[in-house]
Every structure is written in structure tokens, then in C-alpha cells.
């Protein structure tokens, strides 16, 4: 019997990528600019991470605003003006409550469609894709707008050089539509995982029920993002490598047949280590973190759009997406790149 999770299953139903849109806020922040107020340097940031600049919003702009821009561009790229659901991945929602997605759906004029947020930090976009694919495969929706949007600049401790130089703001979105697994753009499978034993490696300690339950007084500094970089680095390589490997094996794709590895853009050294782990040539790893930094849930669609614009992502190519972040949470998916016009 054919394994229903492999492309050999042919005409089985699948969620198919139809459009891609992105948005970056206008203000680019260089390493030099950060070096003027932090004990860091352009040289350290470039050599340890690969980042040259990132974009940060101006006061007054929130995550939902970036999501609306990227969402509108994805709808235009797909040539559609309506969807049946909106799934938004973010670590930096407009409010702790309610979710940001319903506001984004309303601003996009999408009517009273189901709209909700997914919280899986830097793995959020892959989780949101899996979630949207589930809506399509269960018949809840025929077309879904999936958005990853972040404004990390608002949660970074401006005095913490371990995090302040790494993260950027931005948004990316795709339109998924019901189709068949043998069409270009079909999401061919998912590998997802988590390890909550290590939830403290990446955390915003305050502002949630854990802090309230502890009876601790609220301190606004507890709402800054914290990360144990070295331990996260090691986990990122292992988890993205193993997750990708498991998915490739299930799909029957030898790693040598992967044309583009689009990993979460956290650190160029991590991307190269994941490529090495999978025995994929480093040149096949898409890198745009030099331009945008680590944009968490927005990182995969921003990397896809930059690669397509640079001519590094072409119709018919085999693409592996993999992401990792706080939770810990990680996930991978794969597709044959479709003939779409990113916007
Ligand atoms: O997006 C979610 C997933 N996130 C990630 O995957 C991030 C994973 N981690 C990383 O990318 C890296 O661990 C970092 C870029 C965060 C840090 O790089 P590292 O090579 O692991 O540096 P380190 O933390 O081991 O620090 C090495 C040195 C330390 O100084 P000492 O103790 O050797 O004197 C740090 O204090 O570099 C120092 N350092 C800095 N120096 C200048 C740390 N941050 C900076 C900085 N500028 N911005």
C-alpha cells in the first residue's frame, strides 16, 4: 500500500502555496548604530551571527500593522481578495488578549472568517502552516492566509547585548489553497516537535499567569525577552537537523536532491551547521539574515521572498523549510517551488 504521507500518494488532497507577500518597516538599524550605545561592534555581530542590519518599527507601529501589509501583499500575489481563515504566528501580539489575527482579518476586509494566533516563537510560521494545512485537509477552509509577523524591537532589553543585536521586525505571509499533492506548491508533509523541559532557554519571564501565581510584584523589566544563546545554538542545530532529516526520509527525498534549504534565520553559523548535518551543500542554504536579522515567526517567508527575488528559488526546485525556537519548539515542511509572483 502507498504510504499516504509520501508524494507517491499522487493525487491525494494537499494544501498548496499560491501567493507570498512580505513587509519590512522602513527604518534599517545598522550594527554601527547599535555599537554606539552597546558594548558591541559591527565585527563581533557580523562574524558571530552574520547579521549586518535589521529593521525596527518606529513608535506607533505594532505587529498587527506589519501583518496587514504582508497579508495584503500575499493576497495580491495569489490574485485573490478573500480567504476562509487567517492563522497568524507571532511572539509579539498586539495585546495579550485578544488574538491579533481577528483585527488583521478585519483590516484586510476578509469578513467574519475564523482568525486566530499561533504561539510557537521562532518555529511559529511552520506551526501555522501545519495548522492551516489541517484546516484545508479537514474541509474547514478551502483557502487560508498564513502570516508570520513580529515587532521584537518592543520586547528587547536595550541594555542586553546578547539579544538586542540579533532580532529584527517584519512580516511575511502566504496563501494556501486546497489542491493536490502532485501540484507544485503542495506542502508534502510536516515534522513538528517540542521540549518543554527546556522552556527557560528562551523566555519572557514576566507578564503571564506564572508570575501572578507566584505572587511576585509586576516589574516591567520582567517583560523583556531573554535567551541563553550558547545552549540555544546547540539545540537549534540538533533539532532543525534531526527534524529535517526525519521529514526527508519520510518523503523519500535524498538530501542531495534538496535544491534550497530555507532554515530559520537566527545565525549563519547555525544554518551552515544544519546544512552540514544534512549533507546539503552550504551554498544551497538560503541566507537573508544579513539584511533582516532574526525576525522569529516572520523569518521563513522573508527568506523565501528574498531568495525568489534574487533568482535563488525557481519553479520546480525542491525546497526544505525548517525552524526552531522557544518552547522549545521546532518543525519542518517541504514543497516543490511553484510558479508564483512574490510581492
Ligand atoms: O531564534 C530562536 C533561536 N535563536 C538562536 O538560534 C540563537 C542561537 N544562539 C546564537 O546565535 C549565539 O549563541 C549568539 C549569537 C546569541 C551568541 O554567540 P556565541 O558565539 O554563542 O557567543 P557567547 O554567548 O558564547 O559569547 C561569547 C563572548 C562572551 O564574552 P566572554 O564571556 O567570552 O568574555 C559574550 O559576553 O561574546 C560576548 N558577547 C558579545 N560581545 C560583543 C555576547 N554578545 C556580544 C555582543 N557583542 N553583542
Task: Report how far Cα 132 is from the mean position of its chain's Cα atoms.
Answer: 14
pLDDT digits (tens, 9 = 90+) for 240-279: 999 999 999 999 999 999 999 999 999 999 999 999 999 9
Give yes or no for residue 116 CB within 6 A of ligand 1: no
Q: Where are the beta strands (DSSP E) in 98-214?
A: 115-118, 143-150, 170-180, 190-194, 202-203
Is residue 194 within 8 Å of 213, Cβ to Cβ?
A: no
Per-residue pLDDT at 2 = 43
Pocket residue to mutate for ligand 1, from 230, 240, 290, most atoms within 8 A of Cβ: 230
Give yes or no for residue 48 CB within 6 A of ligand 1: yes
Q: Which residues pair with 36 in a beta bridge?
A: none
Tell me, in angstroms, the distance from the centre of ligand 1 to residue 230's CA: 7
Give yes or no for residue 342 CB within 6 A of ligand 1: no
Percent pLDDT > 70 in the chain is: 97
- For residue 219 the three cell numbers come to 516589574
**Residue 88 predicted with pLDDT over 80:** yes
Predicted confidence band of residue 214 (pLDDT cuts 50, 70, 90):
confident
Give yes or no for residue 232 CB within 6 A of ligand 1: yes
Give yes or no for residue 44 CB within 6 A of ligand 1: yes
Per-residue pLDDT at 193 = 98
**Residue 1 predicted with pLDDT over 50:** no
**Residue 10 predicted with pLDDT over 70:** no
Q: pTM higher than 0.85, yes or no?
A: yes
Residue nearest to atom 2 of ligand 1 (CA): 325
Q: Which is nearest to 264 in space by CA: 156, 67, 120? A: 120
pLDDT digits (tens, 9 = 90+) for 296-328: 999 999 999 999 999 999 999 999 999 999 999
Give yes or no for residue 67 CB within 6 A of ligand 1: no
Which residues carry out catalysis?
Answer: 122, 264, 294
Residue range 214-237: mean pLDDT, rounded: 91
Give me the chain's average pLDDT, please.
96
Cis previous bond, 280, omega within 30 = no
Tell me, in angstroms, the distance from the centre of ligand 1 to residue 268's CA: 13
Distance, in Å, from the CA atom of 305 to the CA atom of 258, rounded to the nearest integer, reads 18
Helix (H) or strand (E) holding 265: none
Hey, is 278 helix, strand or coil? Answer: helix
* CATH numbers and ranges of domains, the chain: 13-180 (3.40.47.10), 190-336 (3.40.47.10)
Residue range 107-134: mean pLDDT, rounded: 98
Tell me, in angstroms, the distance from the centre of ligand 1 to residue 42's CA: 13
Amino acid at each position: 500500500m502507498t504510504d499516504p504521507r509520501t508524494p507517491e500518494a499522487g493525487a491525494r488532497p494537499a494544501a498548496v502555496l499560491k501567493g507570498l507577500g512580505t513587509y519590512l518597516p522602513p527604518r534599517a538599524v545598522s550594527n554601527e548604530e547599535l555599537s554606539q550605545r552597546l558594548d558591541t561592534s559591527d565585527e563581533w555581530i557580523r562574524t558571530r551571527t552574520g547579521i549586518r542590519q535589521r529593521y525596527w518599527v518606529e513608535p506607533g507601529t505594532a505587529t498587527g500593522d506589519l501583518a496587514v501589509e504582508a497579508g495584503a501583499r500575499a493576497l495580491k500575489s495569489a490574485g485573490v481578495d478573500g480567504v476562509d481563515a487567517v492563522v497568524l504566528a507571532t511572539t509579539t501580539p498586539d495585546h495579550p488578549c485578544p488574538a491579533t489575527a481577528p483585527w488583521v482579518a478585519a483590516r484586510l476586509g476578509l469578513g467574519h472568517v475564523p482568525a486566530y494566533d499561533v504561539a510557537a516563537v521562532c518555529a511559529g510560521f511552520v506551526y501555522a502552516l501545519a495548522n492551516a494545512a489541517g484546516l484545508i485537509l479537514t474541509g474547514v477552509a478551502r483557502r487560508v492566509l498564513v502570516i508570520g509577523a513580529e515587532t521584537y524591537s518592543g520586547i528587547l532589553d536595550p541594555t542586553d547585548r546578547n539579544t538586542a543585536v540579533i532580532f529584527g521586525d517584519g512580516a511575511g505571509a502566504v496563501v494556501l489553497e486546497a489542491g493536490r499533492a502532485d501540484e507544485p506548491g503542495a506542502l508534502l508533509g510536516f515534522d513538528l516537535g517540542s521540549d518543554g523541559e527546556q522552556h527557560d532557554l528562551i523566555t519572557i519571564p514576566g507578564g503571564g499567569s506564572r508570575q501572578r501565581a507566584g505572587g511576585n510584584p509586576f516589574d516591567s523589566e520582567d517583560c523583556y525577552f531573554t535567551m541563553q544563546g550558547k545552549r540555544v545554538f546547540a539545540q537549534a542545530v540538533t533539532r532543525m537537523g534531526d527534524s529535517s532529516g526525519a521529514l526527508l526520509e519520510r518523503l523519500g527525498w535524498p538530501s542531495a536532491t534538496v535544491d534550497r534549504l530555507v532554515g530559520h534565520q537566527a545565525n549563519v553559523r547555525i544554518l551552515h551547521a544544519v546544512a552540514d548535518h544534512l549533507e546539503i551543500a552550504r551554498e544551497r542554504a538560503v541566507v537573508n539574515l544579513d539584511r533582516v536579522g532574526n525576525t522569529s515567526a516572520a523569518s521563513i517567508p522573508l527568506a523565501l521572498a528574498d531568495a525568489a527575488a534574487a533568482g535563488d528559488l525557481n519553479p520546480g526546485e525542491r525546497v526544505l523549510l525548517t525552524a526552531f525556537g522557544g518552547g522549545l519548539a521546532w518543525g519542518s515542511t517541504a514543497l516543490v517551488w511553484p510558479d508564483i509572483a512574490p510581492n
